[in-house]
Amino acid sequence: MKIEETTGTVAGIPAEPERATLEGKNKVLGFWLFICAETTLFATLFGAYLSLKGANMGGPTQAELFKMPLVASSTLILLVSSLTSVLAITAMRHNQASRMTGWFLVTILLGAAFLTLEIYEFIEYVHEGHTFTGSAFGSSFYLLLGTHGCHVLFGFFWILSLIIQGRREGITVHTAPKFYVASLYWHFVDLVWVFIFTVVYLAGMTTGLT
């Protein structure tokens, strides 16, 4: 698509519409401050898990418990959803509203698939006796993953509401910051999962094999 170099616009909107106004810039800045607070929350939950992961009260170890093929599938789904979110923002910057909402729809459908697999994983663990109240390990595990799952669910409904707004209002310098920060939020949720996959699952399997 042709970029109008003299005006700095793409298809009639600024090249970075999310930062085209002071309001938009403030929304992006405010979001990064919000992410700092969220990072502190998850750092606390990770710290609690690392402190309590060995307190399984004689129950199964991480290596015995974790369903790694299922977890790997969940991880792949969430990583792909991060890519589709990038494609949505790329479409936004080219003023392609239908394509943007389409990619956002794919993003949240992948998020729904992730949540479905996570719920199934939890049900499997509960059937094996690994419950929230069964041990300190169980409490810290479910609290960390449950908090992340709630963030995914929130992101699902947030982006769904923006899809509806995007179809109604299109892409403007006023709506673009909303789409952009929602995409950043989704990337943050995905990044947290990468840490969960590494710290909880991969490290847990390694510990169980040593």
* Greatest Cα pair distance in the chain: 69
Neighbour-count burial of 35, counting CB atoms closer than 10 A to its CB (0-12 exposed, 13-18 middle, 19+ buried): middle
pLDDT in tens, 74-114: 999 999 999 999 999 999 999 999 999 999 999 999 999 99
Tokens read off for 87: 């494609």
pLDDT in tens, 149-185: 999 999 999 999 999 999 999 999 999 999 999 999 9
Q: What percent of the chain has pLDDT over 70?
A: 92
What is the mean pLDDT of the segment spanning 12-27? 82
Please tell me the pTM assigned to this model. 0.88
3-state secondary structure of 56: coil
Q: Tokens 């310098």 correspond to what residue?
A: 173
pLDDT score at 5? 34
CA-closest candidate to residue 181, choices 196, 159, 202, 160: 159
Contact assessment for residue 62 and residue 53, using Cβ atoms and an 8 Å cutoff: yes
Domains, the chain, ordered by start? 18-209 (1.20.120.80)
3-state secondary structure of 16: coil
